[in-house]
Amino acid sequence: MTIMFYEMLQVQARQDKEQHITVKSIWIQWYFYIGFQIYMISKTWLTEELLSNTGIELPLVLHQILFTYHSFFAFGLFAFGLIFFVMSLEEGFYSYQFK
């Protein structure tokens, strides 16, 4: 019973902390989700072979973003995401935000 009560107090404490930082954490979660989806686009369902077989021609800028320099753009998105995460850290909530 003591352990269960302690866990309930911890859950309450976590909810209080989450309400305090919820706006920034939601933006960061969505940013990394979208960044990962952008990374996976040209790796899964939008490949160069598929486009060439269907006869679809992309504008040069889109072709460079999706295929030629895709790894560089994906790395840039994830690097900016890490900077965004570090800038969102709040004093007193470090251990909670890293969990």
Could you tell me the two tokens for 64? 């460079």
Look at residues 43, 39, 32, 24 and name the one whose alpha carbon lies nearest to residue 97. 24
| The predicted structure's pLDDT at residue 76 | 93
Contact between 32 and 81 under an 8 Å Cβ cutoff? The reply is yes
Contact between 33 and 90 under an 8 Å Cβ cutoff? The reply is no
| The predicted structure's pLDDT at residue 75 | 93
Q: How far apart are CA 87 and CA 29, in angstroms?
A: 14
Q: How far apart are CA 40 and CA 34, in angstroms?
A: 10
Could you read off the pLDDT tens digit of each residue along the chain, which spans 99 residues? 556 556 655 655 555 555 655 556 667 878 888 888 888 887 887 777 778 788 888 888 888 877 888 889 889 999 999 998 888 777 766 666 665
